[in-house]
Structure 1
Amino acid sequence: MRSIARPQAPQSWDAGAAAQDLAVRYGDLAAPDLLRHMIEREFPGRIAVVSSFGAESAVILTLVAAVDPATPVIFLDTGKHFSATLTYRDILMDRLKLTDVRSIEPDPLQLAEHDPVGGPEDELWQRDSGFCCHLRKVLPLERALEGFPAWITGRKRFHGGERSALTTVEAVDGRVKINPLARWTPVEVAAAFRAHRLPPHPLVDEGYPSIGCAPCTRPVAIGEAVRAGRWVGLEKTECGIH
């Protein structure tokens, strides 16, 4: 993969030590309680949620909104999303009264250089999917997280792969990462959708249990892993932001 300089998180504090301390004090709490402590007590005004507004995103966003609907929500608008995802984003913003959703786009100068509109017939995602994710997700997220020592994800162990050993609190790239739903099961996710009467992503009923950019996501067959439809035929299982 080609390289573009990646901004680094501020190193004025020890994120690893902070994560260890937080894990001891809060790591075993239920998701709502963990989120309340992180948003209100440990990182007031200094923590954000990163959401794809994908198949299960409504759950973590609902729990965050219950604590503070003004918590910043970062959505990486790659320019390659399904139109249904953009519609779903707007539906959840309105439904949950989220007041600070930030749609972050890739740097236009970098896109013009590496993946120009009207460029080669084989777009960047076809030639180098890793670099495409780096350009459209990793670098924009680093910019968006500037000033935030901590962020929240909706990842879960049952997604498999690198997520199988996920902890509720970890340190990554100089920041604390909170994964409140790490231990949740598919049954619990489905129960949360019912309990909160959450609208499903429009593509879920079409066989998409995990939804990323349109060119690199396909429906999965019965019995396949949740994320089997992501980057089919490639060794990669993550976009690089985790």
Structure 2
Amino acid sequence: MARLDPVAFGFDHESAGLQEAAVLNARFAGLPARELVRRALTEIFPGRIALVSSFGAESAVLLHLVASIDRTIPVVFMDTLRLFPETLAYRDALADRLGLTDLRTIQPDAEKLAAADPHKALWMTDADACCRIRKTEPLARAMEGFDAWFTGRKRFQASTRAAIQSFEQDGVRIKVNPLATWSVDDLKAYVVEHDLPPHPLVAAGYPSIGCVPCTSKVKPGEDARAGRWRGLDKTECGIHLGLENDGSGI
């Protein structure tokens, strides 16, 4: 099924794959985050969009925002089998608090993992391959059947995210970034307004939280994501690099 009606959105389906993100940004990018989420859920991708969440340091905001409109949305969580136990506990507590009814926990393919990383040390020699097996490939499988997915990325998080738009073409799907233009103060204000619980590791010095081996504490004055893959020329796990970079197509 085509995602956008050609009359309503002003272009033909034959070129939709090239124009869709641009058209969506032109029409909806200026909307407040809540209205953008509502339109994505009910008008643009009804029944065909998921929310992908790490249940990390800032995840509660987007999860609450989306759940306040539709608690039945599929929420995809990737358990890499190398996560902090605090993250798993936070996932369960936050999902219960928000009343999420379709939380889908995805894990790596057991056979591929056993063959490629039998000693759980692949991250030391090839961090990209480790991320691909534990995160990117499982997410690609989980996204089958969806046309789009919500992400919680913001421009302030890193230089690689400084220009992200509300809608991005990512292979055959659209990524929807409702919080792209939000600031740290915006996030804090939302958390206070809705009394959202923080990830327990934030207070311990982890403003960005991933897998245990590749996450370290951040020193005062450092970028919030400085503790991710510290010492490596790597800033993303691969999920947001797109088809042309890692073949994931998600």
Q: Identify the residue that residue 64 of structure 1 maps to in structure 2.
A: 66
The answer as to 2:250 corresponding to 1:230 is: no
When the two structures are superposed, what TM-score results if normalisation uses the length of structure 1?
0.92
Q: Identify the residue that residue 111 of structure 2 maps to in structure 1.
A: 109
**Count of residue pairs the alignment pairs up:** 227
The answer as to 2:242 corresponding to 1:240 is: no
Q: Identify the residue that residue 190 of structure 2 maps to in structure 1.
A: 192
1:197-237 Cα offsets, whole Å, 9 max, x none, are: 00000000001100001110001011000100000000000
Gaps of 5+ in 1: 1-11
When the two structures are superposed, what TM-score results if normalisation uses the length of structure 2?
0.89
Q: Identify the residue that residue 76 of structure 2 maps to in structure 1.
A: 74
Q: Secondary structure at the match of 2:175?
A: strand
Which one-letter code corresponds to 1:156 in the other structure? K
Q: Give me the CA root mean square deviation.
A: 1.2
Task: Give yes or no for contact 1:55–1:201 (8 Å, CA) kept in 2.
Answer: yes
Distance across 2 between alignment mates of 1:47 and 1:15: 17
Distance across 2 between alignment mates of 1:102 and 1:57: 16
Gaps of 5+ in 2: 1-13, 241-250
Q: Provide the identity percentage.
A: 54
Task: Give yes or no for contact 1:161–1:237 (8 Å, CA) kept in 2.
Answer: no
Task: Give yes or no for contact 1:47–1:152 (8 Å, CA) kept in 2.
Answer: yes
Distance across 1 between alignment mates of 2:177 and 2:18: 15
Which one-letter code corresponds to 1:141 in the other structure? L
Which one-letter code corresponds to 1:203 in the other structure? L
Alignment match of 1:129 (pick from 99, 107, 127): 127
Task: Give yes or no for contact 1:16–1:170 (8 Å, CA) kept in 2.
Answer: no
Q: Which has the higher contact order (CA 8 A, sep 6+)?
A: 1
1:1-55 Cα offsets, whole Å, 9 max, x none, are: xxxxxxxxxxx98443221221111111110000000001111110001100000
Q: Identify the residue that residue 17 of structure 1 maps to in structure 2.
A: 19
Runs of 4+ more than 4 Å apart: none
Alignment match of 1:181 (pick from 179, 182, 186): 179
Q: Identify the residue that residue 50 of structure 1 maps to in structure 2.
A: 52
Alignment match of 1:157 (pick from 152, 155, 158): 155
Distance across 2 between alignment mates of 1:70 and 1:222: 39
